[in-house]
Amino acid sequence: MDLVQVITIAIVASILIILVREKSPSIAFMLVLFTGILIFFVVAREISQLFGLFQQMMTRMNMSMIHLDTILKVIGVAYLTEFTSQLLKDAQLQAIAVKVELAGKIFILVIALPIFIAVLETLMKFLPS
């Protein structure tokens, strides 16, 4: 699927949701959820191709995959957190959405810690003893 198909899905789903929302808010929410998950899976397929390209580039440049993996994990956590938070906000569950955002930030800090430590160790080498 390409971007035009994703946009078409979003527009058709939006029209259906608007029509159904007045009579059955729960079905409308399920349509929102289903549409969001469908779009997420379409985008996830594209992202996996992008990650494969990054890995090929890193292999060609003989660069460490550890740092790339960490960066890709951070990006993945950020996108998943944002996606989940927006779904919760669509369901008028702002309090839970804020907590999901906080959890995502904490996980990003934990995942990025090895890079932070590596940077600090590199800086320490430059400081006089």
Q: What is the pLDDT of residues 34-79, one digit of tens each?
A: 998 888 888 888 887 887 887 788 778 776 667 778 888 898 899 8
Residue-level pLDDT at 63: 67
Q: What is the mean pLDDT of the chain?
A: 87
Read off the pLDDT of each residue in 4-24 and give the average, rounded to a whole number.
Answer: 91
pLDDT of residue 104: 96
Long-range contacts of 79-87 (CB under 8 A, 24+ apart): 79/47, 80/104, 81/105, 81/107, 83/36, 83/40, 86/36, 87/32, 87/33, 87/36
Please state the rounded mean pLDDT for residues 100-112: 95
If pLDDT is split at 50, 70 and 90, which confidence band does 11 have?
A: very high
